[in-house]
Amino acid sequence: MPERPPRLAEWTLGLLLNPKHRETLLGDFTEEYSRRASQVGVSNAKRWYWMETIKSSPALFHLLAMNFNRSEVMQKLSSLTRQNHKMAGLGLLLIIPALILCSGGLALSLLGMNAFSNAINFDLFIFNPLVLLGGLFLAFVLNLLTVAQVKIQDGSLTGTIRLRGKELNLGLLTCIGLLLSVIFLYLLAENFQIFAR
């Protein structure tokens, strides 16, 4: 039985190829891979397969973008957002840095407990403002898309909010709103020195 091409490279090519021609082109690549494996060895054939994948990826990606079917992408996006538990889990992971930062700040300012704030290493990249606010924004958008649906039809904009079965997403959206409020109040207090030190 001939050796198969590298699975990751084959999978990458499969993602970038047009579904109509995917099977034929992958078959051609596999045939050439088998020929090279028998002539120059398996490791050289694998190297060749990877090089061809890397070389052809930009052009294939460009073709994919040019032939991109907007309705198909919207269907995939809507099926992704129907999985509300996955979106809530992903959103929770994205807000962890902001949650850690705000919890430490609130424990220090409200309760006078500085052990939590002292334990945080603020040099970590997750406490970069771009990562913090980007994570909050992305979690907000993902969970908002799960709860709310907006359609543009015949020049009119229609919005729908679904509450049944979306409690997890709504709770996370509320948590994100509270975290953004805490960050905003802290920035307000720091920049305008409203509170005495």
- Phi-psi region for residue 3, left (φ > 0), alpha (ψ -120 to 50) or beta? beta
Can you give the pLDDT at residue 75? 63
Threshold 0.75, pTM exceeds:
no
Planar angle of CA 143, 176, 126, nearest 5 degrees: 100
Q: In whole angstroms, how large is the CA radius of gyration of the chain?
A: 25
> pLDDT for 19-78, tens place per residue?
787 888 888 888 999 999 899 988 888 888 888 888 887 777 777 776 666 556 566 556
Nearest to 171 by CA among 101, 80, 84: 84
pLDDT at 154 over 60: yes
Planar angle of CA 1, 24, 20, nearest 5 degrees: 140
Confidence of residue 1 (pLDDT cuts 50, 70, 90): very low
Planar angle of CA 151, 156, 159, nearest 5 degrees: 40
| SS3 at position 156 | strand
Counting every residue written for the chain, the total comes to 197
| SS3 at position 45 | helix
